[in-house]
Chains A and B, each alone.
Chain A
Amino acid sequence: MSMQGFWIPLWTFIWFAGLTVFSVLSVFVIILGGKDLASLLRSLRERHRQQETSAEKTQ
């Protein structure tokens, strides 16, 4: 088997597998990342509210 006979199938597999996985991952990341982002903003808002409440109690 020539060297090209080894490398061409390898790079063909890597390219199509990589592009497919990235496409699927991107869909997940866009949808679930959006949920994560909303959750992050919610938790920060909650933490700030708690900080304000504890500051008021201290005063």
Chain B
Amino acid sequence: MDQLTTLHTNFTAFDWAIVIVFLVASTVAGMWAMRYISDMEDYVVAGRSVKTYLGVASMIAAELGLVTVMYSAQKGFACGFSAFAIALLSAIAGWIVGLTGFIVVPLRRMGVMTIPEFYERRFSRGLRVFGGIILAASGILNMGMFLKADSLFITSVVGMTSDTQLKITMSIILGLVLLYTTVGGMISVVFTDYLQYAVMSVGLVVTSVILMTRFGWGHVVSSVVELKGDAGFNPLLPESGLGPVYLVWMLFLGFIGACVWQTSVMRATSAENEHVVRRTYSWGAVGFLIRFLIPYFWGICALVYMAQHPDLKAIFLPEGAEADSSVQLRAMPIALSNLLPAGLIGLLTAGMLAAAMSTYNTYLHTWSAVLTQDLVAPLCGNQLSSRARIIIARIIMCLIAFFLLVWGLWYPLGEHLWDYMAITGAIYFTGAFATLVGGIYWKGASRAGAYGAFLCGFITVLGLSPVQKALGIQWRSEYVGLGVTLLACVAMVVLSLLFPDPEKECG
């Protein structure tokens, strides 16, 4: 890694000015939105007044985080064009959800604010608390590594070599997000997501066009043919690093990302009506495609760039072995910092910071809302006033932010980021998928089945490499994830049939 500290970057003082102006404007705008908060409904779901285009901007801005750009670029760098299959499957899943209204429309029809609120209405208050704890714990753990990945991008682009500078910068960014998210709630999230979407979308498109102009599409394709052969294009080949089972897992994750993951579902519950929900998801499918497609392409361009420079090739594409994961993650930002002119690299960094901040504010807001609405409020017998709930949500938000700093910046990560994220997310969503589908579409689903499905989710920790090492096993994460999902569905059906809810027995 020492070799990387001497690499050149085009990032200048002018680029810093662009980034600072953006940070200040975003924070001021977010804090200005606080004047529109009068009760918990304003705070959590923006008074349920979000319309289609604003919903699309907010959804894409939140789901296209810098962490997504980082791990997707790494995938493009490692798998070439084969990685495009993941983007395609994600878009297909989002589009099907928009077309059918699968899960999200019934949730909006019920008028719930969070998914655990659905658990209470459909099953019991106990399940709401249990589901809320698992959802928030899984989501917060999942988010724990965002700062780490984002810090790799910032370090590489601006040429900062000191870890202390990096930690201070990221702490300031998180502090700014915390400031306007705790004060303004969902209205701030929607408001700043809109501003951040504008900056980010311009940055994404302009950078992609410059890369295409610089390399030429034909040259990029021929370089991947030379470097990777068929495996660089055919995702069904195991040599591509993907394969058929992995693609099924990715399709399932596409559905989860669209209709089970709380941050996406918040867009459905905030929507003005069911029609807006469907349209938001149908158009949002383009966002689901692009959030992976563009960073994959940047990763592929980084591959071509590294292959052209012998000094970089030795670091990023060593003979006979694959580079370390953290080195691969740096490939895309280092390539961009050398390929883009001064000024544009500042705009891109502002766009990427926008992507990071809109993700942080959404996640901070979502998990604090879930813990307040689904854990604290039910435990207090739902007697809390709207004002008390907002204060509790703000305190929880600060605690989560503190955890993120400790976990993400100061705690050493011992495994691959994408595997960590998929498995920590799966602890919740494998059980939630069975519970939501059963609860919405099957009258016979019971609370025993729901508890069983959630408990099955814990088995996914077997997908974490430290656990596998401790147990002496070596299972691929896609097999663990899909297997546990199937098991959770079986648990839901079998336990519901064996232990139906009392009212069902009477009926």
Chain A residues within 8 Å of B, Cβ to Cβ: 2-4, 7-8, 11-12, 14-15, 18-19, 21-23, 25-26, 28-30, 32-37, 39-41, 43-45, 47-48, 51
With contact pairs A39-B51, A40-B51 given, residues A30 and B84 touching in the complex (Cβ less than 8 Å): no
Chain B residues bordering chain A, tally (CB within 8 A): 45
Chain A residue contacts of B52, Cβ below 8 A: 32, 36
Are A4 and B225 in contact, CB atoms less than 8 angstroms apart?
Answer: yes
Are B84 and A22 in contact, CB atoms less than 8 angstroms apart?
Answer: no
List 19 additional A-B contacts (Cβ < 8 Å) besides A22-B289, A47-B38: A4-B230, A11-B84, A15-B293, A19-B205, A22-B290, A26-B201, A29-B57, A29-B201, A32-B52, A33-B56, A35-B53, A36-B53, A37-B194, A39-B51, A40-B46, A40-B190, A43-B49, A44-B36, A47-B47
Residue among B51, B87, B187 facing the most chain A CB atoms (10 A cut-off): B51
The 10 closest A-B pairs by CB, nearest first: A36-B54, A7-B233, A26-B201, A32-B53, A33-B53, A36-B51, A33-B57, A22-B290, A44-B36, A11-B81
Q: Is B297 at the interface (CB under 8 A from chain A)?
A: yes
**A49–chain B nearest beta-carbon distance, Å:** 10
Chain B residues within 8 Å of A, Cβ to Cβ: 36, 38, 42, 46-47, 49-57, 60, 81-82, 84, 87-88, 187, 190-191, 194, 197-198, 201-202, 204-205, 208, 217, 221, 225, 230, 233-234, 283, 286-287, 289-290, 293-294, 297
Residue of A nearest to B208 (CB): A19
Are B198 and A25 in contact, CB atoms less than 8 angstroms apart?
Answer: no
CA distance A39 to B51 in the complex (A): 9
Are B81 and A7 in contact, CB atoms less than 8 angstroms apart?
Answer: yes
Are B283 and A25 in contact, CB atoms less than 8 angstroms apart?
Answer: yes
**Is chain B's binding surface mostly helix, strand, loop or mixed?**
helix
Chain A residue contacts of B205, Cβ below 8 A: 19, 22-23, 26
